[in-house]
Structure 1
Amino acid sequence: MARREVLVQLDDDLVEQLDALATDLGTNRSELMRRGAQAVLDAEGLATADRQLRVAYLRRPADPALVQSARRLAAESAPAW
């Protein structure tokens, strides 16, 4: 995959923390930044999907009989902790 160099400004404390973590993990700062960027994108994707699901339920709420059946099934099949 092609990569592009991107300038990112960080304060000294954050750079030191990233460098220490990179050393602990046996990687480098750039890899941590890539992982961090991907984590932000993944989290936003999940948040968007969650918002869309909530909107869908507001448009068409679950059938109360289905909810009741699911509750009963869950109560009957849940392990005794």
Structure 2
Amino acid sequence: MARREVLVQLDDDLVMALDTMATRLGTNRSELLRRGAQAVIAAEELAVADGELMAAYRRQPADPALIQSSRRLATETAPAW
């Protein structure tokens, strides 16, 4: 995949923390920033999906009988920890 160089301004403490982590992980600062950007995007996608799911349940709540039987089944089939 093609890459584009972008300018990002970071404070000295953050750069130092990134460099320390990159050295420990055997990678570089750019790779850590790419991973961080991907993590932020994934987290936002999950938050949007959660919001859509909650909105769907507000529009059409789950049947209380279904919830009760699901709880009973979970109690009966859950492994003993």
TM norm. shorter chain > 0.5: yes
How far the C-alpha of 1:13 sits from its partner, in A, is 0.4
Q: Percent same amino acid among aligned pairs?
A: 75
TM-score normalized with structure 1 length: 0.98
- Confirm whether residue 9 of structure 1 aligns to residue 9 of structure 2: yes
User: Is 1:67 matched up with 2:71?
Assistant: no
1:20 counterpart residue number: 20
Q: Secondary structure at the match of 1:5?
A: coil
Structure 1 residue runs of 4 or more that deviate by more than 2 Å after TM superposition = none
Give unmatched runs, 5+ long, in structure 1: none
Tell me how far 1:80 sits from its aligned partner: 1.5
Equivalent position of 2:39 in the other structure: 39
Partner of 2:51: 51
Deviation at 1:79, TM superposition (A): 1.2
Secondary structure in 2 aligned to 1:33?
helix
- Unaligned 5+ residue runs, structure 2? none
SS in structure 1 at match of 2:19: helix
Alpha-carbon shift at residue 29 of structure 1 (Å):
0.2
Secondary structure (helix, strand or coil) at the match of 2:27 reads coil
Work out the CA distance in 2 between the residues paired with 1:41 and 1:14. 20
Q: Which residue is equivalent to 2:80? A: 80
